[in-house]
Every structure is written in C-alpha cells, then in structure tokens.
Structure 1
Amino acid sequence: MLSRTAGDLYWMSRYLERAENRARMLDISYSLSLMPQDGREGLDELAMPLLITGTLDEYLGWHGQLHGERMLQFFALDPNNPTSIFSCLRAARTNAHAVRGRITADMWENMNSTWLEMRGIAAEGLTRYGISRFCEWVKQRSQLFRGATTGTLMRHDAYRFLRLGTHIERADNTLRLLDSRYEMLGDKEASLTEGSAYAYYQWTALLRALSASEAYTELYRDAPGVRQVSELLILRDDLPRSLHSCLDEINQILVSLPGNTGRSAQRLGAELGARLRFTSVDDILSEGLHVWLSDFIVEIGNLADAIHRSYLEVA
C-alpha cells in the first residue's frame, strides 16, 4: 500500500475517533458543570476540555475571557478551530474522500452523511440542538462507522491502518481524561472519604465518559476511587478503552503489517506493552499518578511518531 493511502486511512480513523473523544470530554464537563458549585468552579469545569486539548490559549486569544456558551461553540462547532469536533469530522470526511476506492460503499455513505448532518447541526446552533443530544449524536455516528468498517471491509492493510489510528487516538484520550479528572480533584483526593459526593461524581462521570460504568460495577464493590479507577482504565486488558487493551491492539496490528520498515515502531510498542504487563497499580500510585500518566502520554506520542516515520512518510 502507498504511504499516502495508508496515511489517509490512518488519519481518517484518528480524526473520527478524536471527534468522538472530544464529544466524551464535552459531555462529562457539561454534566459536571450543572452540579451545584462554589464560586467559578462550574465555568472552570467547562474550560476543562480546552485545557486537556491545549486550546485554552487559542480560545482566550479569540474571545478574551471564559464564557460558557462561547467555549461550547469553540470546542464543538467552530470551523476556525482546527481541534473542534466540526473540524475533526470535516478532516475525517476529506481523508475518506481521498481513499474512496479503498473503503466500502457503506463506510463512505456513513462518513458522508455524518458530515452533511454535521453541517446542518452547525447551522442550527449547539444551544438549540442540545449539548447532550449533540454529544450522543457524535458518539453514535462514530460507532456506526466502526460497525460498517468491521462488517464490510476486507481484513487487509486498509483495515489494519484504520484500526491502528483508532487505538492510538483512543489510548491518548484515556490517559488525558484520567489525568484531568485526577488533577481536578487535586489535593482533595487525599482528604476525601470514599463516600464523598464530590469524588463520587468526578469518578462516576469519568467512567461514564469512557463507557466503563458497567465494567466497574461488575469488577468492584466499593465506590469509585483513584486506585480502582486507575487500575481499570490503565491495567485491565479486557476493557475496550483501557490503555492496556489499546496497546495490545496496536501491537497485534504492527506485527501483522508486512515488511521490515516498522521495526522501530514494533520495538517501542512491545516495550510499552511489557511495561504495562509488569507493573501494578501500587507501582503507578507510588510514582505519582499524574507523573506516570504524563510520562505515558509522551510515550504514546513517541509511538505515533515512530508509526508515521515507518509507514506514513511519503518518499
């Protein structure tokens, strides 16, 4: 497969997964901002997606001050913000058009109709359409595309690069969401009781955002806390959005790709996978959860760079 084609497929899936992850971030922050808050915490909660994605400075440059409605518009529907959900879906559709001959008709129709609906929602406005309804719509459209991909596309290199992009993006998002919730609790985590309403709603919202609520209740009896949630989202290999599960998928895909150009990416992926297999939640917490997560976010970025150099650079 040509590097340009592989790159379009890889980035199409990354942008679509990114749009879904942006919707998950927005949904959790919007829901928590509606809870009774002291001072400006509700507005700070709405600013969290901007902090996670590194776009707060860009937003302030455009708008000058934090404002709930403008932040929602900027993060969700602003066509001039390259990291907005609108821009992610536009980029995914552009990449899909470039590889129209390598994906199935069902995949293309799903992607094209998603983009057309996105334009209609943008014209209607987020407040009128409904924020929670919009977030659910984005998640559903992403899931429909993955279903069409799984159900109709041959298991050749195109399928592998699509899945590779999805899991690289997903791993990064899980780490960032977990880190943001832990940082939002800050020093309060040490003093909160297991039954604290503040901690409970923070952790429960995170689990819901990552579609992990049912898994948590099946595996744990206690109220969500930093130890249990970290173990679930980092080390469990049977949770689809956990870091361990994503790395397992990435490594299986890298090994299956033909040729010898990907040795550096395969080696780095295997090293990160081994690091997860031979660590425990106690090791992570003793190092410091924020420190550990920040380091692994960098490592996932390094793995993405290695994949790009190995497979996606156009000679």
Structure 2
Amino acid sequence: MLGRTASSLFWMSRYQERAQNTAKLLQAAYRTAMVTHAGQADGENWRFALASSGSEFGFTEKVGELTPRGVISYMVFDKTNPSSVRVCLETARNNARAVRTGITAELWEAINTTWIEFADVNPQSITQEKLPDFLAWISQRSHLFRGALLNTILRDDGYYFSQLGNFVERAENTARILDTQYWVLLPDNDVAGGASGERYQWIVILRALSGLRSYRFAYQDAKLKAGNIATFLILRDEMPRSLAHCYNWIDDTVEDLGEFYGSVQPSLEMGSQIWKDLKSTNMDAIYNNGLHEFLTDFIGRNNAFAHQLSIDYNFA
C-alpha cells in the first residue's frame, strides 16, 4: 500500500473519532451546566470541555470571554480550530475522498452524507435548546461510520491503518480528559468521601467518556469512588474507552499488520510495549509514581507511536 493511502485511512478514522469525542465533551458540559453545583465556578464545565479537547489556548486567543455560545461556536463550527467538529468532519471526508476507490460504498456514504448535512447547518440556528439533539446527531453519525467500517471493510492493511487511527485518537482523548482533572481522581478523595464538587467532576468525566452507566454495571455498589473511576478508565479492558481497551485493540492490530507485511517495524513494537506495560501495572503503582506523571507519559508515548507509524509506513 502507498504511504499516502495508509495516511489517508489512518487520519480518516482519527478525525472521525475526534469529531465524536468533541461532541461528547460538549454533551457532558451542557448537561452538567443545567444544574448548579456547590463549589463550581461559573463556566467551569465549559472550560473543562475546552481543556480536554486541547482547544483552551486557541479559544482564549481568538474568542477570549468564556460563554456557552462562544464555546459551542468554537468547538463545533470554527474553521480555525483543528479539533472543531466542522474541521474534523471535513478533514475525514477529504481523506476518504482521496482513497475513494479503496473503501466501500457504505463507508463513503456514511462519511460524505454526514459532511453534506453538517455543511448545510446554519450555526446561528443551533441554540442551546437545540444543541443536545444536534450533538446526539453527530455522535450517531460517528456510530454509523464505525459500523460501516467494521461491517463492510476487507480485513487487510487498509482496515488495520483505519483501526490504528481510531484507537490512537480515542486513547489520547481519554488520557487528556483524565489529566485535565487528575487531582479529583487521587485516592485521598475516597478517604474523605469526596466533596460535592469532586463527585460532580467524577460524573462529568464519566459522561464525557460514555462511561457513567457502564461504571454502575462494573461496580455493583454503584458508588462513585476516585480509585474505581481511575481504574475503570485506565486499566479495565472491558471499558471501550479505557486506555487498556484502546491498546489491546492496537496490540492485536499491529500484530495483524506485521503478519500482513511479513515484517515488524519499530512502531509495531512500540504499540505492543505500551499494551504490555498497561497489563503489568496496577493503580497502586500508578498512584505511587504519580497519576499526572503517568498520564502525561502515556500521552507522549501514544503520540510517539503515531509518529513512528507515519515514518515506518511513509505517510505523506
């Protein structure tokens, strides 16, 4: 496969995943903004969405004042924000178009129709009252893309590069969200019982990662605890957005990719090593070495893996 084809498939999936992640952050921010929480500064939930998506600096430089309308506009429609839903959907579509003959009709239809319908939306028409339905539509379209990918694409190198793009992006999103509020996930909060503001933040984190209901299934007492939440989102492989789940998929995919080409490149070894390290650790070790330090190191290793992949397979 040509390097530019591998690159297009990788970034097609990565940007599609990023669009959904941005929508989920805004859904969590909107929902929690509807309820007053003791100890929470005005706009803190919207600031959380900006920081977790890596958009806070750009927003401050371009918009400045923190308002719900400003955040929604910047994170959904702004053409200069590389993490806005608009930019993500357009870039995913452009990458898919570059490999149009190498993907199925169902997958192209899912991507192309989403972009056409999104481009027809007037940003001024998306009021705060209409925002939940609009964000739900974005998320549903991302599920449609993912379903078309999993159910129609041939299991060859194109599929493997698409999978890697999806889970590299998902892993970064989860790690960034956790690192943005890492202090509320420290074990001292369990000893103290968790202040009301901390419990509120736990809910925001779980909602942003579609994990609130799943958490209650995983922990039968249904009580929110900092240590359990951190374990759930970092080390529990059955949680679809946990770091462990992402790198379990990546480990399987790099193994398949190595077998497909008959050689193991350095990036494939890097991906497997990250998964091995996640499997061999536990939350006590992570806390002892520092949760923030663990998350920043993970983000760095995840980015290094993606960069090395682009070198090994000649991404254009």
Q: TM-score, normalised by structure 1?
A: 0.91
Change over 3 Å in CA distance of 1:189–1:85 after alignment to 2: farther
Q: Which amino acid aligns with 1:89?
A: L
Matching residue within 287, 290, 296 for 1:288: 290
In 2, Cα distance between equivalents of 1:219 and 1:187: 20
Q: Provide the residue aligned with 2:67 in structure 1.
A: 67
| Contact 2:237-2:244 at 8 Å conserved across structures | yes
2:276 counterpart SS class: helix
Q: Provide the residue aligned with 2:155 in structure 1.
A: 155
The alpha carbon displacement at 1:261 in A equals 6.3
Change over 3 Å in CA distance of 1:187–1:261 after alignment to 2: closer
Q: Provide the residue aligned with 1:49 in structure 2.
A: 49
* Mean Cα deviation higher: 202-211 or 267-276: 202-211
Q: Provide the residue aligned with 2:312 in structure 1.
A: 310
Change over 3 Å in CA distance of 1:279–1:265 after alignment to 2: same
Q: TM-score, normalised by structure 2?
A: 0.91
The alpha carbon displacement at 1:39 in A equals 8.2
Matching residue within 276, 283, 292 for 1:274: 276
Q: Which amino acid aligns with 1:302?
A: A
| Contact 1:121-1:129 at 8 Å conserved across structures | no
Measured on the aligned residues, the alpha-carbon RMSD in Å equals 2.3
The alpha carbon displacement at 1:300 in A equals 0.7
- Unaligned runs of 5+ residues in structure 1 are none
1:127 counterpart SS class: coil
The alpha carbon displacement at 1:100 in A equals 0.7
Q: Provide the residue aligned with 1:208 in structure 2.
A: 207
| Contact 1:235-1:243 at 8 Å conserved across structures | yes
| Contact 1:265-1:310 at 8 Å conserved across structures | yes
Q: Provide the residue aligned with 2:144 in structure 1.
A: 144
1:121 counterpart SS class: coil
User: What are the within-5 Å matches in structure 2 for residues 212-231 of structure 1?
Assistant: 212-220=211-219, 221-231=221-231
In 1, Cα distance between equivalents of 2:226 and 2:147: 33
In 1, Cα distance between equivalents of 2:210 and 2:71: 25
Residue-pair matches, total: 313
Deviations 1:123-146 (A, max 9, x none): 453216722222211111010111
Q: Which amino acid aligns with 1:293?
A: L
| Contact 1:195-1:223 at 8 Å conserved across structures | no
Q: Provide the residue aligned with 1:264 in structure 2.
A: 266
| Contact 1:164-1:250 at 8 Å conserved across structures | yes
The alpha carbon displacement at 1:156 in A equals 1.4
Q: Which amino acid aligns with 1:194?
A: G
Change over 3 Å in CA distance of 1:52–1:217 after alignment to 2: closer
User: What are the within-5 Å matches in structure 2 for residues 10-89 of structure 1?
Assistant: 10-37=10-37, 41-89=41-89
In 1, Cα distance between equivalents of 2:115 and 2:99: 16
| Contact 2:37-2:197 at 8 Å conserved across structures | no
| Contact 1:33-1:41 at 8 Å conserved across structures | no
